[in-house]
Every structure is written in C-alpha cells, then in structure tokens.
Amino acid sequence: MSQVDSHPKPVLAVALHYDAPDAPKVVAVGRGLIGERIIATAKAHGVPLSENAPLAEALSTLEVDTEIPEQLYSAVAAILAFLIKASKVA
C-alpha cells in the first residue's frame, strides 16, 4: 500500500550564472512560490533546467552573488556540462 504525501516539500530553485574564467555564482534562490517563479522565468527565457535536490540544498545556503565554494565545483561542473550539451541539442 502506498501513501500520498499530503504535505509536499516546497519547490526549491537555485539559479547560477557562469562567466568564465570566474567560478559560477548563485544569482537567485527561492522556495515555494519564489522557487516556482524562478523556474517559470528560466523556462520563459529558454534557460535549460536540471534537477538535483542535494546540490540545490547546498547552494541555497549561499548568499546571492556569491561564487560557489570549491567543494561544489565538480558537482556544478557536471550540471553545467549537461546544460551546455542540452542547449546545443535544443
């Protein structure tokens, strides 16, 4: 028997900006309605999206306009590589 969660977690969205050679920066963080608006705005502007809840949680602890810490470089690099590839296919 399965149960339906009647209290789903609010949406968490983190937006990054990458301008080589600098490290990617967190440019927006939001939960709930703000998270949904970040996602809707990205979709409206054709920004590719990736879902990674543990990484989003870690990035959400950073202040906006902060470069990501070195310990998250490889996780973010994998996401950026996926998104770059996806945007070339689209």
Averaged pLDDT for residues 82-89: 79
**Is 50 inside any structural domain?**
yes
pLDDT value of position 90:
64
Q: What is the per-residue burial (b if ≥16 Cβ within 10 Å, else e) of 27-56?
A: ebbbeeeebeebbeeeeeeeebeeeeeebb
Measure the CA–CA gap between 24 and 50, rounded to whole angstroms: 15
Say which amino acid occupies 54. P
Task: Read off the pLDDT of residues 24-82 as tens digits, 9 standing for 90 and up.
Answer: 999 999 999 999 999 999 999 988 899 999 999 999 999 999 999 999 999 999 998 98
**Is 74 inside any structural domain?**
yes
What does the DSSP 8-state code read for residue 18? -
What is the CATH classification number for the domain harbouring 64?
A: 3.40.1690.10
In the three-class reduction of DSSP (H, G, I as helix; E, B as strand; rest coil), residue 20 is classed as coil
How many domains does one find in the chain?
A: 1
**Is 6 inside any structural domain?**
no
pLDDT value of position 5:
60
**Is 7 inside any structural domain?**
no
**Is 3 inside any structural domain?**
no
Q: Record the pTM.
A: 0.83
Domain range enclosing 67: 12-89
pLDDT value of position 4:
60
Bridge partner residues of 30 (DSSP): 13
